[in-house]
Structure 1
Amino acid sequence: MPGAPITRLSMVYDADGTLVGEVRYVVGHLLGRARCDLCDITHGGLRRRASFDDLIASLPVPADVVHRDEQSPELAVFTAGRLACVVGHTGDGLEVLVGREDLAACEGSVDRLADVLRPRLAHRT
């Protein structure tokens, strides 16, 4: 039985969105000290992938893509220790729809993320 209807998504990077945060992540990633599987999916080099923007536009609910330092206080409390992830917002609260392990299994592929996300949204929107 499906859960409560999902009204929107928050896709949260395990990286900060400031210029310093972005540089810190890139350097850490190159040195093997920082990892964000959502970043690997959404970005090819320094730019966001057009295929990811196409996925966002095709979803049946609005989706926000935010860095960890851009989260609302409620979302930050919920995602603590769970980043990177995709969170579903429902009338009952928040739930992780796509967790770290699922994002890692996508191996940087937007299509694989779509294959994971779409069934989890089915009958919930």
Structure 2
Amino acid sequence: MIVSYTAIYNANGGIAGEVRYVIGHLFGTAECALCDITHSPIRRKPEWDRMLQRLGVPMAVLHRNQLDAALIAALGTTPLPAVFAHHPDGSITVALTAGQLRTLGGSVSEFEKALIGR
């Protein structure tokens, strides 16, 4: 059973982090498949918000510089971006890896299928 999810971007939050990512993305030096799934070039995708409503459990979406100690421990050497599942016993496991997120091609519907098809 999964009680919640945490999706972690391969980018830092805050104005400086966002600007660095946008510039890096434009020049091909920064990549985040999760960003491509959740956002269009201008804003968060409305279909992402609708998917979150259908999901049935909460999903936090964080930047890599916003993690608490439990998430840092669960992350270990897992490359970002990634999605983690939180279980009733307090354990945290990887739900979707960076490689899996890349194969989704920025599609919210493919993300939803990959996540709930586990």
Q: Indicate whether the TM-score tops 0.5.
A: yes
Runs of at least 5 residues in structure 2 that lack an aligned partner in the other structure: none
Count of aligned residue pairs for this structure pair: 116
Query: 1:83 — aligned with what?
Result: 80
The C-alpha deviation readout for 1:44-72, integer Å capped at 9, x for no partner, is: 01310000011111112111111111111
Query: 1:22 — aligned with what?
Result: 18
The C-alpha deviation readout for 1:9-38, integer Å capped at 9, x for no partner, is: 001101111100000000011111110000
Query: 2:93 — aligned with what?
Result: 95
The C-alpha deviation readout for 1:62-120, integer Å capped at 9, x for no partner, is: 11111111111210232244210110001151111111111000001101101101112
2:59 to 57, 63, 69: 63
Query: 1:119 — aligned with what?
Result: 117
Is 2:2 aligned against 1:6?
Answer: yes
Q: In structure 2, how many angstroms separate the alpha carbons of the residues matched to 1:80 and 1:18?
A: 23
Runs of at least 5 residues in structure 1 that lack an aligned partner in the other structure: 121-125
Q: In structure 2, how many angstroms separate the alpha carbons of the residues matched to 1:29 and 1:79?
A: 24
Is 2:28 aligned against 1:32?
Answer: yes
TM-score scaled to structure 1, two decimals?
0.88
Q: What percentage of residue pairs aligned between the two structures are identical? A: 36
Q: In structure 2, how many angstroms separate the alpha carbons of the residues matched to 1:73 and 1:46?
A: 32
Does the CA-based 8 Å contact 1:68-1:76 persist in structure 2?
A: no
SS at match of 1:10: strand
Task: Name the structure with the higher strand share.
Answer: 1
Which residue identity is paired with 2:106? G
Q: In structure 2, how many angstroms separate the alpha carbons of the residues matched to 1:58 and 1:48?
A: 17
Cα RMSD, aligned residues only: 1.1
